[in-house]
Amino acid sequence: MIKVGILGATGYAGQQLVWILRNHPQSEIVFISSHSYANTQYSDIYNNYNGLLKDVCINMEEAENKLSLIDILFIALPHGKSFDIVKKALQQGVKVVDLGADYRLKSPEVYKEWYGLEHEYKEVLEEACYGLVELNREDIKNASLVANPGCYPTASALSLYPLLKHGFINPDSIIIDAKSGVTGAGRNANISNLFTECNDSVKAYGIASHRHTPEIEQMLSSACKEDITLNFTPHLVPMNRGILATCYAKLNTKISTDELKDIYKSFYKDEYFVKIIESLPETKWVRGSNLCHINLKVDGRTNRVIVVAAIDNLIKGAAGQAVQNMNLMFNLKETTGLEFISMAI
Asked if 306 touches its own copies (CB under 8 A), the answer is yes
Residues 59, 82: Cα–Cα separation, whole Å = 13
Task: Count CB atoms within 10 A of the CB of residue 318.
Answer: 27
Q: How far is CA 203 from CA 210, 234, 237, 297, in A?
A: 14, 9, 7, 25
To its own copies, the closest distance from the beta carbon of 237 in angstroms equals 5
Asked if 204 touches its own copies (CB under 8 A), the answer is yes
| Minimum CB distance to its own copies smaller for 69 or for 207 | 207
Contact status, residue 224 vs residue 171, Cβ threshold 8 Å: yes
Pick from 93, 226, 299, 335: which binds its own copies (CB under 8 A)? 299
Asked if 51 touches its own copies (CB under 8 A), the answer is yes
Residues 44, 40: Cα–Cα separation, whole Å = 7
The greatest distance separating any two alpha carbons of the chain, rounded to the nearest whole angstrom, comes to 62
To its own copies, the closest distance from the beta carbon of 140 in angstroms equals 23
Contact status, residue 328 vs residue 277, Cβ threshold 8 Å: no
Angle between helices 212-224 and 108-115 (to 10 degrees): 150
| Minimum CB distance to its own copies smaller for 10 or for 64 | 10
| Minimum CB distance to its own copies smaller for 246 or for 327 | 246
| Minimum CB distance to its own copies smaller for 108 or for 238 | 238
Give bridge partners of residue 308 from the DSSP assignment: 246, 295
Residues 141, 255: Cα–Cα separation, whole Å = 36
| Minimum CB distance to its own copies smaller for 124 or for 244 | 244
Asked if 175 touches its own copies (CB under 8 A), the answer is yes
Pick from 289, 321, 325, 327: which binds its own copies (CB under 8 A)? 289
| Minimum CB distance to its own copies smaller for 123 or for 195 | 195
Asked if 269 touches its own copies (CB under 8 A), the answer is no
Q: Which of residues 206-225 bind its own copies (CB under 8 A)?
A: 207-208
Q: Which of residues 1-30 bind its own copies (CB under 8 A)?
A: 12, 15-16, 19, 23
Q: What is the DSSP letter of 244?
A: E
Q: Which of 57, 151, 247, 292 is catalytic?
A: 151
Residues 278, 238: Cα–Cα separation, whole Å = 26
Active site residue 292: no
- Residue 342 backbone zone (phi > 0: left; psi -120 to 50: alpha; other: beta): beta
Q: Which of residues 222-261 bind its own copies (CB under 8 A)?
A: 229-231, 233, 235, 237-242, 244, 246, 248
To its own copies, the closest distance from the beta carbon of 142 in angstroms equals 29
Asked if 171 touches its own copies (CB under 8 A), the answer is no
Task: Count CB atoms within 10 A of the CB of residue 229.
Answer: 11
Pick from 275, 311, 313, 337: which binds its own copies (CB under 8 A)? 275
Q: Which residues carry out catalysis?
A: 151
